Amino acid sequence: MLQKFSFAFCLSFFAIGVMAQQPKTPPQAQPQGPQLVPATAFTYKKLPSGLQYAFIVDKPSSPKPEEGGQISLNMQSQCNNRILYSTAAEFKGKPGVYGVAKPAFKGDLIEVIMLMTPGDSAVCLVDADALFKNAKSKMPDFIKKGDKVQYFIKLVSVKTKDKVIKEQTAAFEKQMKEQAAKQKAEAAKLVVKDDKALQAYFKKKSFTPVKTASGLYYTLKEEGTGEKAMANDTVVMNYTGYFMDGKKFDSNEDTAFKHVQPFTFVLGRGSVIRGWDEGIALMKQGGKATFYIPSGLAYGAQSRPGSPANPKGIPANSILLFDVELVKVTHPAPPPPPPAPKQDTMVVPTVVDTLPAPVPVPAEPKKDQ
């Protein structure tokens, strides 16, 4: 079976042939390869599947098509003196490019193409009933059961599976880099836009908050007297979130949002928006503050679902304001001390152990009386 490459999807080669029952241009206006040639004009060989074929040009070359590879070819199909499909018409005189897969049915055209090498030309006869059945398309009225669809094929080029994978990988990486560069440029523009909007807001409200290096603005309303929040601390928060027009979008203090309970999370682990992770780390237990968070430090290009109290949710690229209270800070428990290293038991020799064994002294001989 052949598959036409087109970015993220593949289109069955045979489906194209079936769709050509209603050509984009009248048959007489289509650029044609070989003219309509009777099937009897060739001496055919037969494959085990029953597919009949004949080489018109057989040039010894390489490589042959392989599953997972890619081919380009010129092809025209016809049946009962009517052209069904032509790559010349479809691709404006250029070869069609297709991926190579296993045969989709017994007697599939790809069985012959797999025998060819670049420069070869061949003709083959495919069972019309099997072809249209595989394509899940109704056979035209001028084609009857038992008819053969005649294909003229000239194989132009062959790419191996490895080369296709390398090219696809390179194309994907290029696309990802271009997309990342585009997103970075758009994000930079949005930073400038958000900052201008916040500056205008502060000017209108006649106050000047503190700005951090990341672009977060904040004002401390109450300093707090407890422990300073640090990364990996468990913090308990009360909060109310606003849009720049003053409308609330969420709160754990307003009963309208139906979750009036302190909000607990571990700081610095990305479980909340970046503006929160950064801003709360500037506070002490008992402190109160207002954060003015540009969209890049909030939800960015992601929108958030709404609720009965805020049906529109949070639109993408929204600047968010939060009144927050740091209710409690709990530092993580220190890790247990490492176990003491095991000491090897040593056997200390005693003094007796170190003394040499006594050497027996022979008795003196007795003197004669």
Q: Residue 12 pLDDT > 60, yes or no? A: no
Residue 263 resides in a domain: yes
For residue 19, the model assigns a pLDDT of 37
Annotation marks residue 239 as catalytic: yes
Q: Does a structural domain hold residue 193?
A: no
Q: Is the pLDDT of residue 366 over 60?
A: no
Mean pLDDT of 128-145: 91
Tell me 342's DSSP state: P
From 33-37, 177-181, 289-293, 344-348, the region with the lowest mean pLDDT:
33-37
Of 42, 53, 239, 257, which residue is the catalytic one? Answer: 239
User: What is the average pLDDT across 119-135?
Assistant: 94
* Domain C-terminal end among 129, 164, 199: 164
Half-sphere exposure of 181 (CA within 13 A, CB side): 6
Phi then psi for residue 99, to 5 deg, are -85, 150
Mean pLDDT value across residues 91-102: 94
Catalytic-residue membership of 110: no
For 293-342, the pLDDT digits (tens) are 999 999 999 999 999 999 999 999 999 999 999 999 999 988 888 888 77
Q: pLDDT by residue (tens digit) across 38-57?
A: 667 899 999 999 999 999 99
> In which domain, by residue range, is 53 found?
2-164
Annotated active-site residue in 108, 250, 277, 323? 250
Same domain, 154 and 39: yes
137: confidence class by pLDDT, cuts 50, 70, 90? confident
Counted domains in the chain: 2
Return contacts of 306-309, CB within 8 angstroms, 24+ apart: 307/250, 307/257, 307/258, 308/258, 309/248, 309/254, 309/256, 309/257, 309/258
pLDDT at residue 60 in the model: 85
Q: Are residues 29 and 132 in the same domain?
A: yes
pLDDT at 5 over 90: no
Are residue 157 and residue 263 in the same domain, yes or no? no
**Residue 361: per-residue pLDDT:** 58
Tell me the percentage of the chain whose pLDDT exceeds 70. 82
pLDDT value at position 353? 53
**Nearest to residue 218, comparing CAs of 298, 314, 283, 315?**
283
pLDDT score recorded for residue 354: 54
Are the C-beta atoms of residues 66 and 160 closer than 8 Å to each other?
Answer: yes
Q: Are residues 23 and 105 in the same domain?
A: yes
Distance (Å, rounded) from C-alpha 243 to C-alpha 322? Answer: 9
Q: Cα(35)–Cα(32) distance, rounded to whole angstroms?
A: 7
Residues 267, 136, single domain; the answer is no
Asked if residue 194 belongs to a domain, the reply is: no
In the predicted structure, residue 226 carries a pLDDT above the cut 80: yes
Looking at the fold, whether 13 and 159 belong to one and the same domain comes out as yes
pLDDT in tens, 204-219: 999 999 999 999 999 9
Q: Is the pLDDT confidence value at 135 over 80? A: yes
> Are the C-beta atoms of residues 241 and 251 closer than 8 Å to each other?
yes
Q: Is residue 241 part of a domain?
A: yes
> From the candidates 194, 277, 322, 323, which is the catalytic residue?
322
Catalytic member of 13, 217, 299, 314: 299
- Among 71, 143, 273, 314, the active-site one is 273
> What average pLDDT does this structure show over 266-287?
97
Whether 127 and 215 share a structural domain:
no
Active site residue 273: yes
**Mean of all residue pLDDT scores within the chain:** 86
Note whether 159 and 235 are same-domain residues: no
Q: Is 322 a catalytic residue?
A: yes
The DSSP H or E segment spanning 83 is strand 82-86
* pLDDT above 90 for 350: no
Q: Any idea what the CATH number is for the domain that residue 255 is in?
A: 3.10.50.40
Q: How much is the pLDDT for 334?
A: 84
- Whether residue 23 lies inside any domain: the answer is yes
Q: What is the reported pTM? A: 0.59
- Whether residue 58 is contained in a domain is answered as yes
**Do 95 and 154 belong together in one domain?**
yes
For residue 40, the model assigns a pLDDT of 72
Q: Looking at the structure, do residues 81 and 226 belong to the same domain, yes or no?
A: no
| Residue-level pLDDT at 6 | 33
Q: Which residue of the set 249, 257, 291, 292 is catalytic?
A: 249
What confidence category does residue 348 fall into, taking pLDDT thresholds of 50, 70 and 90?
Answer: low
